[in-house]
């Protein structure tokens, strides 16, 4: 099993009533609450935690792209990736991802990822995303109805640019380039590609057709995610697709401590901060044209596994710490309890790539660093055997070799 370190890179000093008095933490989030000096301190904290994770055996350090939000201050994940490429040695760097439809021309993504792959010595995972409605339609003004078409055209251009042996012309609907000749080329002959999704059958078709890794990047826990993840595997099997568990990446908040009581004491406020402080206005989340008819039908037909009241209380920070744990929003407790819960999650949902959220909300850095230490030294070794007999073509070979040589990885011998 592989482990990928992730944090949303939140702003950690929001006013206590921020989530109550502001309609949305996306698009129209009030900029006056953000102190640029504090933002810089937060960035440095996340970098230190990721550098620590590299030294503890994580398989990758994962970054995402969001815009105009206090939830994730990463409008350009490639900038953070360039620092990590030069200051880490073992872990891959997963860009999960670049929102392709927002780049004009998108060849810029091909160039930057190739540059990062060279700088890191072949350790890049190219996560490519459609982007949330808040990022694409409202922050960057892309018509929702064009989003998928723009994404696929950009994906075709980028992947061709990494492989082409001589200059070529590209004449797409949205991008026209007389000369495409990316300098430099990536170190990796085939950069692993991940596509995150939220349950759209069209995304499943792309992932299966191209044998990409599918990432379900949810923060709503196992109970809420189960119909989507199992739906993906059922659909993949029905289409004769690759059932390798390493094609599934899943996001999970981890709260590890020496005792269950200590976990509740250290993490409870930060967990509630995260869920309470991130409202999304409904008009930004569901613009017409963003979801296809097939996607809407799939959502309506999907079984509801959580009551509306539970979901509302969760997003308002009104659940108790152990209610969040019971519903799967978090996995908390001692290293042994966390290891057991992760094994059950990964086995039940056929997950080979676990995206561990080791910092959440306004968690103090020292607590997150101890979370890293406990999970890296006491939890991951208990789980490396899971799916060890399965090939992993979705994590860079060089990072697999380095992590295995230094920490042991459960790879087939």
Question: Cα(306)–Cα(221) distance, rounded to whole angstroms?
Answer: 10
Instruction: Tally helices (H) and strands (E) across the chain.
Output: 17, 11
- pLDDT values of the chain reduced to their tens digit, one per residue, 413 residues: 999 999 999 999 999 999 999 999 999 999 999 999 999 999 999 999 999 999 999 999 999 999 999 999 999 999 999 999 999 999 999 999 899 999 999 999 999 999 999 999 999 999 999 999 999 999 999 999 999 999 999 999 999 999 999 999 999 999 999 999 999 999 999 999 999 987 788 889 999 999 999 999 878 878 888 989 999 999 999 999 999 999 999 999 999 999 999 999 999 999 999 999 999 999 999 899 998 887 778 777 766 666 788 888 988 889 999 999 999 999 999 999 999 999 999 999 999 999 999 999 999 999 999 999 999 999 999 999 999 999 999 999 999 999 999 998 544 33
Give the span between the Cα atoms of 89 and 95, in whole angstroms.
17
Look at the domain 2-407 and name its fold. Answer: TIM Barrel (3.20.20)
Length of the chain: 413
pLDDT at 300 (0 to 100)? 72
Segments making up each domain of the chain, as ranges: 2-407
C-alpha 8 chain-centroid distance = 9
Rounded to whole angstroms, how far apart are CA atoms 322 and 332?
Answer: 8
How far out from the chain centre does Cα 122 lie?
20
Q: What is the predicted pLDDT for the residue at 413? A: 34
pLDDT of res. 296? 79
Whole-prediction pTM = 0.95
Nearest-angstrom CA–CA distance, 234 and 201: 11
Backbone region of residue 319 per phi and psi (left: phi > 0; alpha: psi in -120 to 50; beta: other values) = beta
């Amino acid at each position: 099993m592989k482990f990928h370190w992730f944090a949303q890179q939140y702003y950690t000093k929001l006013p206590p009533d921020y989530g109550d008095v502001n309609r949305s933490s996306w698009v129209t989030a009030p900029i006056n609450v953000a102190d640029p000096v504090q933002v810089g301190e937060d960035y440095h904290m996340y970098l230190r935690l990721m550098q620590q994770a590299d030294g503890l055996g994580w398989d990758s350090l994962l970054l995402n792209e969001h815009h105009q939000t206090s939830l994730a201050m990463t409008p350009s994940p490639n900038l953070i990736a360039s620092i990590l490429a030069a200051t880490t040695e073992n872990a891959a760097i997963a860009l999960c991802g670049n929102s392709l439809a927002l780049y004009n021309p998108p060849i810029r993504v091909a160039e930057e990822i190739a540059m990062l792959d060279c700088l890191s010595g072949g350790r890049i995972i190219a996560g490519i995303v459609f982007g949330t409605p808040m990022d694409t339609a409202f922050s960057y003004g892309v018509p929702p109805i064009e989003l998928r078409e723009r994404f696929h055209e950009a994906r075709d251009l980028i992947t061709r640019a990494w492989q082409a042996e001589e200059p070529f012309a590209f004449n797409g609907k949205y991008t026209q380039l007389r000369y495409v000749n990316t300098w430099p080329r990536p170190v990796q002959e085939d950069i692993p590609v991940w596509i995150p999704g939220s349950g759209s059958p069209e995304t499943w078709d792309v992932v299966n057709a191209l044998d990409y890794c599918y990432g379900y990047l949810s923060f709503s826990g196992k109970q809420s995610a189960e119909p989507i993840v199992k739906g993906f595997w059922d659909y993949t099997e029905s289409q004769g697709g690759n059932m390798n568990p390493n094609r599934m990446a899943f996001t999970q908040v981890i709260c590890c401590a020496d005792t269950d009581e200590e976990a509740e004491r250290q993490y409870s406020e930060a967990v509630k901060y995260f869920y309470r402080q991130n409202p999304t206005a409904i008009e930004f989340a569901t613009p017409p044209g963003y979801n296809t008819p097939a996607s809407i039908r799939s959502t309506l037909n999907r079984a509801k596994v959580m009551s509306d009241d539970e979901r509302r209380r969760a997003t308002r920070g009104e659940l108790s710490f152990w209610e969040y744990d019971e519903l799967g929003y978090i996995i908390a407790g001692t290293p042994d309890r966390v290891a057991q819960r992760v094994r059950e999650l990964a086995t039940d949902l056929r997950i080979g790539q676990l995206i561990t959220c080791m910092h959440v909300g306004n968690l103090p850095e020292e607590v997150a660093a101890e979370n890293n230490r406990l999970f890296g030294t006491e939890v991951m070794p208990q789980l490396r055997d899971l799916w060890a007999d399965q090939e992993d073509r979705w994590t860079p070979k060089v990072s697999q070799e380095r992590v295995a040589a230094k920490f042991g990885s459960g790879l087939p011998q």
